Amino acid sequence: TADPAPDMEGVTAALKAAMANGAPGAMARLTGPDGVRTRAVGVRDRVSGAAMDTRARFRVGSVSKTFSSVVLLQLVDEGALELDAPVNRYLPGLLPDDRITVRHLLTHRSGLADYTDKMFAQTVPGFEAVRNRVFGYRELLDLSLAEPRTTEPGAAYKYSNTNFVVVGMLIEKVTGKAVGREYERRIIEPLRLRHTSYVHPDTRIKGTHVRGYLHPDEAGAPLVDSTEQTVSWAQSAGAIISDPADLNTFMTALMTGRLLSPRMLEAMTSVTPTDATNTRFYGLGLRRYDLTCGTRVYGHTGTVQGFYTYAFATRDGRRSLSAMANTSNRGAANTALGGTLEAAFCGKKPA
């Protein structure tokens, strides 16, 4: 059927598979015409043994990119800047190429190298080296500009955190305010996202929260508790803290037109393929996944030390899913967690 009931056994199986692949715990929260459903497995704290809890907060990683994209697109809606203008028009001399436009940043087509490739080439040493550091935007951009560009502007999709660091710089330049203030004023307060915050450079997660556990590169090495960090290496590209309910609310509000004009939402959801499977796409700070049942879901994934996140909704906002596993640097756990999407949005597989 076009709008099947979620397969909750399938959701639970995907969460358990994430655990079987190295996550201490995992959880999911679904909204739909038939109400809210939650599932949680394992622990949110390996020392206390506290059970995973769908009311607990965690670091959402690159789901932050969708928050940053919404703020920037609201500014475009307000005429404060233009999507197809060169970034250098608003930040004179910042980028080495006047052809790089605002749209190139939001679609990962700028060619700016991703500084995290080198920063985290060795997972735990790289993390330990930055977990308490506070970077300026300029420092992060300089790390990227020290690397060769990956493509001519606009020529190809190449995911890069650098793009959303520059988006943060644009937001602060155009508004004269810190990005955290803009998230609050334009998204968090209007939608009453009571458990969503941007506390950079504070390292703590306030309230009931999930502890994150990073897998070292060395097989069999013990997990590293990576919960406390500044996430200053990511900022507007990945430093937001939220919880399952707020992510459901955010993605649903986005899809139902509460945050952007119809024209801007149309632009945001206009996608190009990111891989050869033709089932994964990227628009403006937003991913689209085409599921096996034909349903298209929009949202973002997140990877920050100790936390994998999926936050997606159907285009009409009738259904949404947020899912989290408290580990990272373990691709199989991330892929397993991704299995919640098919179960949530496609329902039970036909026998």
Ligand X SMILES: C[C@@H](NC(=O)[C@@H](C)NC(=O)CCCC[C@H](NC(=O)C[NH3+])C(=O)[O-])C(=O)O
Site string for ligand X, 58-87 (x = CB under 6 A): ---xx-------------------------
* Helices and strands in the chain: count of H runs, count of E runs: 13, 13
Q: How far is the CB of 197 from ligand X (least distance, A)?
A: 17
Q: Residue with structure tokens 């085409």?
A: 290
Which residues lie below 8 Å from residue 70, measured CB to CB, with a gap of 6+? 186, 187, 254, 259, 260, 285
Question: Is there binding between residue 161 and ligand X (CB under 6 A)?
Answer: yes
336 in Cβ contact with 20 (< 8 Å): yes
Q: Verify binding: residue 305, ligand X, rule CB under 6 A.
A: yes
**Helix (H) / strand (E) containing 267:** helix 262-268
Q: Determine the interface stretch with ligand X among 46-54, 77-85, 272-280, 297-305 (rule: CB under 6 A).
A: 297-305
In the complex, minimum distance from the CB of residue 98 to ligand X, in angstroms, rounded to a whole number: 27
Q: Which of 21, 74, 123, 320 binds ligand X (CB under 6 A)?
A: 123
Of the candidate spans 32-40, 77-85, 142-150, 232-240, the one that interacts with ligand X by CB under 6 A turns out to be 232-240
SS3 88: helix
- Sole window of 32-40, 129-137, 173-181, 233-241 interacting with ligand X (rule: CB under 6 A): 233-241
Return all residues near 167 (Cβ < 8 A) that are at least 6 apart. 65, 68, 69, 72, 105, 106, 236, 237, 285
From 303, 315, 318, 335, residue interacting with ligand X (rule: CB under 6 A): 303
Token pair 């089932």 is at which residue?
279
- Please name the residue that has the structure tokens 């949202």: 299
Catalytic residue flag (residue 232): no
Residue 274 binding ligand X, by CB under 6 A: no
Instruction: Kindly state whether residue 214 participates in binding ligand X, applying the rule CB under 6 A.
Output: yes
Residue nearer to ligand X on the CB measure, 330 or 347: 330
234 binds ligand X (CB under 6 A): yes
Please give the Cα distance from 340 to 215 (Å, whole number). 22
Question: Alpha carbon of 248 to those of 33, 123, 135, 239: distances in Å?
Answer: 13, 30, 30, 18
Question: What residues between 188 and 207 interact with ligand X by CB under 6 A?
Answer: none
Residues in touch with ligand X (CB under 6 A): 61-62, 116, 120, 123, 126, 161, 214, 234, 237-238, 301-305, 328-329
Residues recognised as catalytic: 62
